[in-house]
Structure 1
Amino acid sequence: MIQAENNELPVRQVELASNAVLTQVLDTYGSFARMRRCELETDPKTRNTVFRGDPLIISRVIGNMIKNALEACREGQKVLVGSKGKNEWVTFWVHNPGFMPREVQLQLFKRSFTTKGAGRGLGTYSMKLLTERYLKGQISFTSTEADGTTFEIRLRTSGAPAE
């Protein structure tokens, strides 16, 4: 994390397929989902998109999104993960049925903010840092009691900076 904060993290742009990225990250977190007794599935609306990006950084960001969603889900609930391409963008999302109170939402991307206890609090901070600074993309979330919580990252398919 210190390397990323100091602008020293190397970035390797390669051609990727969004479905392959999701498959790899889902395989990584499958056992954690089983341990939490939650379902981890690819959203049926997912569409494969070819894009350029750093596979390690993208996997880390999506992995953090999945881990947070699984930690927030209750036994038997489902976490959906997906991607789609539109125009010059690829979007990855992770959805869980949980809701974050407004006071949590306001602090979510702050370094060391956590609802999970001491020694935590870098997950969402690192997601924002890595997405914006190194992937040159955008990160956002919505959280409502009716619809649950969805995190999204948007990246240019060319790997160029977001506007």
Structure 2
Amino acid sequence: MRKPTFETVMARLKEALKASTFAEVGRYLGLTTSAYANRKRSGSLPFETLLPFADSRNISADWLLFGIGTPFRDSDERVAPIAEIDPKLLASIYLALLRAMRSEPPTQQEELEATRLAGLASLVYNRVAGVPDGAARDAFIRNEAHGFARAARILQPE
């Protein structure tokens, strides 16, 4: 599977949002014009806002990143969470716990990995929180975890 490019993902997002300009797409993602231009120049997708935003608009991550399937998930796939978890807050909590439990401070790489995993965990939680407990929920969690892990591996900077 090919790594998605900034241009392709932003074009798909523009299409899904029916936005008239890429500046408008950037505003949806909370990016200033210069931040958007810098991301475009470096080819760096803003995953910290892109995936939660797509999820909030019921935009399929598979379609947005890889062109697989249709732009929007079926309405039945979106289950309203009991409580929305903020990825940045969860990452801060996780890092504080990591630091408190270790005698040596974590390396910068370990902190980045912890932040990334906490963010992904919050996305999975927000997607599965309303699914009744049991085998179906466990399967849904595994499916979501595998999907996000696959995307994270493909999108990981080299």
TM-score normalised according to structure 2 size: 0.28
* Larger RCO (CA within 8 A; separation ≥ 6): 1
Structure showing the higher helix proportion among its residues: 2
TM-score normalised according to structure 1 size: 0.27
